Structure 1
Amino acid sequence: MDVSDAALLLVAGLAAGTVNAVAGGGSLITFPALLAVGLPPVPANVSNSVAVCPGYLASVAGSWRDLPSRRTVLSLLPTAVLGAVAGTWLLLNTPARAFELVVPFLVLGATAVLAFQDPLRRLVGHPRDLGARRRLGTLQAMVLVGAVYGGYFGAALGVMLVAGLALVLDEALARVSALKNLISAVVGLTTVVIFAAFGPLNWAAVAVVAPATLVGGYAGARLVRRLPPVVLKSLIVVFGTVIGLFLLYRALR
């Protein structure tokens, strides 16, 4: 890795950490950058998953005060770990082509759920109208699906989590975003442990990208607290749409 490669990865890491904290999808900045410096796709994906994890942790530090009730948070963490383990197993043990074709539609679908959140709430019921058991079960299912996806690929994990969580939780979007940051960090830490033991990591690339995502993640989390809800929602929808279309293009080309 020469100086220009390191500079590219450093800038990509800063941008990805900020984007992940605000809207999710920062991995689609670092993943192409890792490919551009010469890593094959699977090592790039594995190294990317490990490198962006510090950014998730920084986002949690920046949004900790906005988290919903601790009881809700604690009940979701084991589900996030279980889903992430399943996702990493899929990545390391199954062909990627079929899932690659499904991923763009998952991202676009999640973005559409967030964009049309109010009509969908009228259709399925507002969170405050759901029974406690049904709401918790639906919330667990949303986190499990997101964690499996995050363990497998991870790009746009934030978009998918915000869309699912906002549909079930009767909370301000900043609080939903804070919970998204925490779940993303748990998924990220799980993938770090598994990929460090079994994945084809490029530690030099991780050493450059990881500190940059740490700085960007904290700055992005602080920015979220200052954004009006409509602006934050619009940013997430735009990022999700762009990411989904990019993934679809890459899968079909």
Structure 2
Amino acid sequence: MPETLLVLLAGLAAGALNAVGGGGTFVALPALVAAGQSPVTANASSTIALVPGAVAGAWVYRRELAPVGPASTKSLTAVSVLGGGLGAALVLALPSESFDAAVPWLLAFATVLFAFGGRLSGALRGTLDRPLAPGPRTVLVMQFVLAVYGGYFGGGVGIMMLAVWSVGLGIDSATGNPMRIAQLAAIYVSATALFLAISDARSSPLVLTTMVAGAVAGGFGGAHLARRLPARLLRAVVLSTAVTMTVLYFLRG
């Protein structure tokens, strides 16, 4: 019973974090490991569990979705689905030790990029004497790389998305948050299909369904909360989550 309660609370927190600013994987994964799952199975289970919460959050934001730069919403979503599926295939086919060692550094890079993205974007615009304006193909390539990472591990992928969009396209966190949640849902859906078919995630149905229930409630409630937060406060929440995740990942390593 204590393990079930832990998983439920972790699901609530993970769903809410993903809706507000990202970082749900870091809450969900340790809780599932504490409940007795292996790290690889916990990784698959956390991805599966966060799908309904991400979909619930995307539904709340459905009327606020805006294209990311020159790329259409349909093409961006298609790329996220493909990348998420490939990332999930890699986690099932390759050893995770080398990538796990790189995760803290990836998170540190994303955190710095997000924290100073606005200034960097402005400096680059001044240097180039024109606004940064990547074409649709460049935007889709960047999104594909992020989606592969999201399907493989997922920790901080939402923060990385906002960081890349901030620097490359000048999109602030409040404007980009609805599309971030929608793309998280797309990445998780394709990864989940593969994890359900091949991984051992279904071996603990009670743990999985408990996490799913918590993530749905947290994602729905968190999305409503995020819509009411001022842009500056939302950025502070995202940045605080990013710094905390990065430090904890380095300490864990």
Length-normalised TM-score, structure 1 = 0.91
> Which amino acid letter does the alignment assign opposite residue 150 of structure 1?
G
What is the match of residue 193 of structure 2? 193
Give the deviation of 1:135 after TM superposition: 3.5
Choose from 43, 46, 49 the match for 2:44: 46
What is the match of residue 16 of structure 1? 14
**1:138-163, CA deviations, whole angstroms, 9 ceiling, x for partnerless residues?**
32133112111111111222111111
Task: Indicate if the aligned counterparts of 2:107 and 2:242 stay in contact, CA closer than 8 A.
Answer: yes
Task: Indicate if the aligned counterparts of 1:17 and 1:52 stay in contact, CA closer than 8 A.
Answer: yes
Give the Cα separation in 2 of the matches to 1:108 and 1:61: 30
What is the match of residue 56 of structure 2? 58
Give the deviation of 1:172 after TM superposition: 4.5
Task: Indicate if the aligned counterparts of 2:165 and 2:171 stay in contact, CA closer than 8 A.
Answer: no
What is the match of residue 145 of structure 2? 145
What is the match of residue 120 of structure 1? 120
**1:144-194, CA deviations, whole angstroms, 9 ceiling, x for partnerless residues?**
121111111112221111111222334453230111001100011011100
Is 1:229 aligned with 2:231?
yes
Task: Indicate if the aligned counterparts of 2:174 and 2:235 stay in contact, CA closer than 8 A.
Answer: no
Task: Indicate if the aligned counterparts of 2:26 and 2:245 stay in contact, CA closer than 8 A.
Answer: yes
Give the Cα separation in 1 of the matches to 2:125 and 2:117: 11
**1:207-229, CA deviations, whole angstroms, 9 ceiling, x for partnerless residues?**
11102111111111111111111
Give the deviation of 1:96 after TM superposition: 0.9
Change (3 A) 1:170 1:68: farther
Give the deviation of 1:42 after TM superposition: 1.2
Give the Cα separation in 2 of the matches to 1:129 and 1:138: 15
The equivalences for 1:1-253 within 5 A come to 3-69=1-67, 72-125=72-125, 129-131=131-133, 134-201=134-201, 202-251=204-253
**1:191-211, CA deviations, whole angstroms, 9 ceiling, x for partnerless residues?**
110001111113221111102
Secondary structure at 1:129 match in 2? coil
Secondary structure at 2:72 match in 1? helix
Identity value in percent? 33
Change (3 A) 1:5 1:156: same
Change (3 A) 1:144 1:130: same
User: CA-atom RMSD, angstroms?
Assistant: 1.8
Give the Cα separation in 2 of the matches to 1:125 and 1:62: 34
Secondary structure at 2:138 match in 1? helix
Structure 1's consecutive aligned runs of 4 or more residues displaced over 3 angstroms after TM superposition are 169-172
Secondary structure at 2:61 match in 1? helix
Task: Indicate if the aligned counterparts of 1:46 and 1:195 stay in contact, CA closer than 8 A.
Answer: yes
> Which amino acid letter does the alignment assign opposite residue 140 of structure 2?
Q
Give the Cα separation in 2 of the matches to 1:172 and 1:109: 18
Structure 1: runs of 5+ lacking an equivalent: none
> Which amino acid letter does the alignment assign opposite residue 50 of structure 2?
V
Give the deviation of 1:26 after TM superposition: 1.0
Change (3 A) 1:174 1:66: farther
Give the deviation of 1:111 after TM superposition: 1.3
Secondary structure at 2:242 match in 1? helix
Give the Cα separation in 1 of the matches to 2:67 and 2:86: 27
